[in-house]
Amino acid sequence: MQIPKEYKVSFYSALAIFILTALFSTGYHHFDEHYQIMEFCNYKMGYSPASELAWEYHAQIRPGLQPFIAYCFANVLNGLGIYNPFLLTTLLRLMMAILSWWAISKLILQLLSDFTTSRGKMLFVLSGFLLWYVPYVSVRFSAEAFSSVFFLLACSQILKQERTGKNVLLAGLLLGVAWVARIQLGFAFVGIGIWMLMNKWSLKHWFLMGMAFVLAVAACSIPDYWLYDTWTLVPYNYFNENILHSKAASFGEMPWWGYFEMFLMNGVPPISILLLILFFRGIWQKPKHLFSLACITFFLGHFAIGHKEMRFLFPLSFPFGYLVAVGIEAFIQGFQSKKFYRIGFKVLIIMNILLLLYAAFHPAQDTIQYYKYMYKSANKGTVTLICLNESPYNRVTLESNFYKHTNLNIIVLDNLEQLSDTLDAIHTDEVYYFSPRQVDKETVEKYNMERVYSSLPDWLLKFNFNNWQERTKVGTIYRLI
Integer Cα distance of 148 and 135 in angstroms = 13
The pLDDT score that the predictor gives to residue 469 is 64
Instruction: Locate the domains of the chain by residue range.
Output: 5-361, 367-480
64 versus 414: which is more confidently predicted? 64
Q: What pLDDT sits at residue 345?
A: 79
Mean pLDDT check: name the lowest of 139-143, 192-196, 221-225, 475-479: 475-479
Q: How confident is the model over 305-325, as a mean pLDDT?
A: 95
**pLDDT band per the 50, 70, 90 thresholds, residue 481:** confident
pLDDT of residue 461: 67
Q: What is the pLDDT of residues 66-79, one digit of tens each?
A: 999 999 999 999 99
Taking each continuous run of H as one helix and of E as one strand, the counts in the chain are 23, 7
Give the pLDDT of residue 227: 98
Q: Which of 476, 471, 455, 398 is nearest to 30 (CA)?
A: 398
Percent of the chain with pLDDT over 70: 95
Per-residue pLDDT band at 285 (split at 50, 70, 90): very high
pLDDT tens for 423-443 read 888 887 899 999 988 888 888
Residues 367-385 have a mean pLDDT of: 93
CB 407 within 8 A of CB 378: yes
Of the given ranges (34-38, 100-104, 224-228, 252-256), which has the lowest mean pLDDT? 252-256
Q: Which long-range contacts (CB under 8 A, 24 or more apart) does 293-297 make?
A: 293/191, 293/192, 293/194, 293/195, 294/155, 294/188, 294/189, 294/191, 294/192, 294/195, 294/319, 295/188, 295/191, 295/319, 295/320, 295/323, 296/191, 297/187, 297/188, 297/190, 297/191, 297/194
Residue 185 confidence (pLDDT): 96
**137, 144 contact by CB (below 8 A):** yes
Is residue 114's pLDDT more than 70?
yes
**Peptide bond preceding 270 in cis form (omega within 30 of 0):** yes
Among 401-410, 420-429, 435-444, 448-457, name the most confident range.
401-410
**Residue-level pLDDT at 243:** 81
Reported as a single tens digit per residue, the pLDDT across 166-186 is 999 999 999 999 999 999 999
Question: Of 225-239, 294-308, 462-476, where does mean pLDDT reach its minimum?
Answer: 462-476
| 149/147 Cα distance (integer angstroms) | 5
pLDDT of 474 above 90: no
Edge-to-edge strand list for the sheet holding 383-388 = 408-413, 383-388, 430-435, 476-480, 449-454
In this prediction, residue 1 has a pLDDT band, given cuts at 50, 70 and 90, of confident
332-342: per-residue pLDDT in tens?
866 656 666 67
The residue-averaged pLDDT of 380-398 equals 91
- DSSP assignment, residue 439? P
**179, 189 in Cβ contact below 8 A?**
yes
